[in-house]
Amino acid sequence: MTISINQISSGTGLRINSEIFLVTEYSHVKPGKGSAFVRVKLKNVKTHQVLDRTFKTADKLDDIILEERKLQNLYRSGDDFYFMDCRSYEEKIIPEDVIGDAVHFLQDHLEVTGICYGDEVLKIVLPIFIIAEITHTEPGFKGDSSRAGTKPATIDTGVMIQVPLFVNIGDRVKIDTRTGSYVERVNR
């Protein structure tokens, strides 16, 4: 379906040169002379490449409808991850390259958001925070405080993060998946 530049908004999906882009920022510009145009920042859904484009009033854009679906991570087999669509209970196979860096914090049975075009999952969006268990770290000492420094620790997904000195093996911690940083220790 084609749309005009006046119908563009944040989150709109566009097909440009057979690639699917998501509009992240846009601004309508009405100069004193000449016709209006739109400055758009686009992000490629698969490669995460960011483009800045300018569209004129007469331009027609190829709009695509992207759908968000709740998916639950079931298991991994080789380079493929198996997810269950929480609405239809269908199993979806998603290759590791579609998941990208989210693979570092992808826990078993974790619910994620899948950005879909038709039946194809284009991108996986993790929850902002996850609760993970520390599986390996050097022991902490009595009197260590959160301001004294950090040490490396491995969480249950196999990723190494920096945690305060007082965190020990078996502790559950809250992690920001956007940055991979420790937020707080969580009570059991």
Confidence of residue 81 (pLDDT cuts 50, 70, 90): very high
| Number of separate domains in the chain | 3
Q: Are residues 104 and 52 in the same domain?
A: no
Q: Mean pLDDT across the stretch 92-103?
A: 86
Length of the chain counted residue by residue: 188
**Structural domain of 93:** 67-125
Q: Mean pLDDT across the stretch 22-42?
A: 84
pLDDT reading at 72 higher than 70:
yes
Q: Are residues 134 and 105 in the same domain?
A: no
- Reading phi first (left if > 0) and then psi (alpha if -120 to 50, else beta), residue 141 is in beta
pLDDT reading at 6 higher than 60:
yes
Read off the CATH number of the domain in which 166 is found. 2.40.50.140
Give every CB contact of residue 32 below 8 A, 6+ residues apart in sequence: none
Q: Mean pLDDT across the stretch 11-29?
A: 83
Q: Are residues 170 and 153 in the same domain?
A: yes
Q: Mean pLDDT across the stretch 168-184?
A: 91
Q: Are residues 7 and 45 in the same domain?
A: yes
